[in-house]
Amino acid sequence: HYTWNDFTSPTFKENPFPAWEDLRTTEPLYRFPVTEGQYAWMVTRYEDAQAILKDQRFIKNRMTLLSEEEKAQIDRSSPTLKLLSYNMLAADAPDHSRLRRLVSKTFTPRMIEGLRNRIQQITNDLLDQAQERGEMNLINDFAFPLPVTVICEMLGIPAEDRQQFRKWSNAILDQSGPFDADRQAPPEVEEFTNYVRQLIATKSEHPDDGLVSQLVRVEEDGDRLSENELISMIFLLIVAGHETTVNLIASGMLALLQHPDQLRLLQDNPSLIVPAIEELLRYTAPVIIGTGRWASEDIELHDTLIPKGDMVLVSLMGANTDPAHFAAPADLDITREENEHIAFGKGIHFCLGAPLARLEGQVAISTLLRRLPDLHLQGDAQELKWRPGLILRGLQELPVAF
C-alpha cells in the first residue's frame, strides 16, 4: 500500500522499479490517500498512460470544475501560487494553444540546433574550471549551471541570478504535500514572483532581443497575453528549463557509471549518443510522475469509475518500464531500437523543450566522456541522496573524481 509519502520519499526515488512493477501487475489503477479525506488515482501501465495523456476529458485547469465559492477560497488562501498557474502547462484548450504558440517558434529543433556551438562552449568552460581540481560535484559544478545558463541566455536574464532560481525552484518543487492550488505557498513563491515582476519592468524600459523582452512586447501590444500569464510563463520557462535537464545529465551519468559495459560501448562509439540519451531519458526518469490531470466528467477505466473532479497521476516511469512495451525494461541498453518512451509526456502538453533537453544532454554527456574518460564516483553509490518531491527524480549531489 503506497502512500503519498512513499511516492515522494528519497528512499523510493533511489529504486522505484519494484513499486512500478508491483502496481502495474496488481493495481494498474491505484487509488491512494493524499491528505485527510482526499485521494488521487495513479496509472502505471504504458497503454493507460498514453491514453490518459491524449484524452482531453482529463484536464489540467481544475478551476473550471470548481464552484464560485471554492474558487474564492483558493484566491484567499494562496493568491501567489495561483498566479504561477496561468501557464500553458496548467491550461486547457483554447488557452493552452494560444500560450504555447507565443513561444513555440523559439523551441523548434531547427532554432535549437542553432545553439549547439554555444552549448558546447558553455560545457567546455565548465569542464575547464573543474579539470584542474581532479574532482567535482557533478550537479553543482556541471549539470546545473549548464542548462540554467542556456535558458537564462535565451530569456535574456543575467546568469549570475541562477543561484537564486535554484533556491526558489527547488523549494517549490521539493514540497512533499499535495500540489493543488489550495495549499499554502512557501515564501519562495513570493520572492520568485517579485523577481519576475522586477525583470518585466526592466525589460519594458530596456528591451533586448531575449525571449522575456519579446513576451513583454506581446503583453503590451494587446490582448494575446495578460500580465498574470506573462509572469507565469516566465516562471514556467525558468523552472522547466533547468530542473529536469540537470537530472537527465546527472542521473544519466550515474546510470552509465553503474553499467560499465554500456559506458564503454558509448566511449568506443560516440555516434551512439543520440539513442543513448533516449535510453537515459527512459531509464532515469527525470520526470518520474507526470503532473496531475483532473477528470472533467465521470470516466471509466479498468471497470472502475473515476468520478468527475478526481485527480489522476500518470507515472511516466511506470509506463517507461512496462514490459508490455519495452523488452527487458530494467536493463539499460543504449542501442535499444524503437524506444518510444514518454519521458517528455504525450499529447498537447508534450514537452516544449524536448529538442533543447536532448541537445544539452547529448553535448554534456559526450563531452564528459571525451574529456574525462576515467571519471568515476567518489564514495559509495549507496550513500547518494535523492531529492524529495513528487514530480521529479534527481540526486542532491553527485561527487565524482577523474
Of the two residues 290 and 318, which places its CB atom closer to ligand HEM in the complex? 290
List C-alpha distances in Å: 157 to 171, 199, 211, 244, 351.
20, 8, 9, 19, 22
Count of positions on this chain that bind ligand HEM (CB under 6 A): 24
Place of cell 520526470: 287
Ranges within 18-37 binding ligand HEM (CB under 6 A)? none
| Binds ligand HEM (CB under 6 A): choice among 23, 332, 343, 359 | 343
Q: Is 71 helix (H, G, I), strand (E, B) or coil?
A: helix
Nearer to ligand HEM, 94 or 134 (CB): 94
Q: Which is nearer to ligand HEM, 118 or 401 (CB)?
A: 118
Q: Residue 344, interface with ligand HEM (CB under 6 A)? A: yes
Among 130, 356, 359, 390, binds ligand HEM (CB under 6 A): 356
Q: Which stretch binds ligand HEM (CB under 6 A): 111-119, 166-174, 347-355, 374-382?
A: 347-355
Q: Sort residue 379 into left (φ over 0), alpha (ψ -120 to 50) or beta.
A: left
Under a CB-based contact definition with an 8 Å cutoff, are residues 34 and 182 in contact? Answer: no
Give CA–CA dist 157/138, Å, rounded. Answer: 24
Task: Please say which residue, 77 or 161, places its beta carbon nearer to ligand HEM.
Answer: 161
The one among 349, 359, 394, 400 contacting ligand HEM by CB under 6 A: 349
Taking the C-alpha atoms of residue 141 and residue 136, their distance in angstroms, rounded to an integer, is: 6
Our finding on whether 156 is near ligand HEM (CB under 6 A) is: no
Beta strands in 74-113 (DSSP E): none
**DSSP-H helix ranges across 243-353:** 245-258, 260-268, 273-284, 316-320
CB of 364 to ligand HEM, least distance (A): 11
How far CA 114 is from CA of 24, 74, 265, in Å, comes to 41, 43, 29
Q: Does 351 bind ligand HEM (CB under 6 A)?
A: yes
* Closest separation in Å from C-beta 191 to ligand HEM: 21
The sign of the torsion formed by the CA atoms of 258, 260, 261, 266 equals: positive
Of residues 235-274, those binding ligand HEM (CB under 6 A): 236-237, 240-241, 244-245, 248
Residues in the chain: 402
Residue number with the shortest CB distance to ligand HEM? 353
Specify the residue, 200 or 236, whose C-beta has the smaller distance to ligand HEM.
Answer: 236
Residue among 28, 145, 353, 388 that touches ligand HEM (CB under 6 A): 353
Which region among 3-11, 136-144, 304-312, 353-361 touches ligand HEM (by CB under 6 A)? 353-361
Please provide residue 301's backbone torsions phi and psi, each rounded to the nearest 5 degrees.
Answer: -145, 130
Q: 16, 156, 345, 388: which one contacts ligand HEM (CB under 6 A)?
A: 345
Considering the rule CB under 6 A, would residue 318 count as an interface residue with ligand HEM?
A: no
Nearest CB to ligand HEM, comparing residues 57 and 402: 57
Q: Which of 120/268 has CB closer to ligand HEM?
A: 120
Q: Parallel, antiparallel, or unpaired for β 135-137 and 399-401?
A: antiparallel
Residue 149 binds ligand HEM, judged by CB under 6 A: no
Distance CA 241, CA 292 (A): 20
**Region label for 50, one of left (φ > 0), alpha (ψ between -120 and 50) or beta (otherwise):** alpha
Residue among 72 and 93 whose Cβ is closer to ligand HEM: 93
Cβ burial of 394 (10 Å; 0-12, 13-18, 19+) is buried
Q: How far is the CB of 286 from ligand HEM (least distance, A)?
A: 4
Query: Contacting ligand HEM (CB under 6 A), which of 34, 74, 89, 332?
Result: 89
Site for ligand HEM in 284-303 (CB under 6 A): 286-287, 290-291
Provide the minimum distance between the beta carbon of 292 and ligand HEM in the complex, in angstroms, as a whole number: 8
* Residue type at 1 in one-letter notation: H
E strand or H helix that includes residue 173:
helix 162-173
Looking at beta carbons only, is 236 or 375 nearer to ligand HEM?
Answer: 236
H or E element, residue 401: strand 399-401
Half-sphere exposure of 175 (CA within 13 A, CB side): 17
Helix (H, G, I), strand (E, B) or coil at 26: helix
Binding site for ligand HEM (CB under 6 A): 88-89, 100, 236-237, 240-241, 244-245, 248, 286-287, 290-291, 316, 343-345, 349, 351-353, 356-357
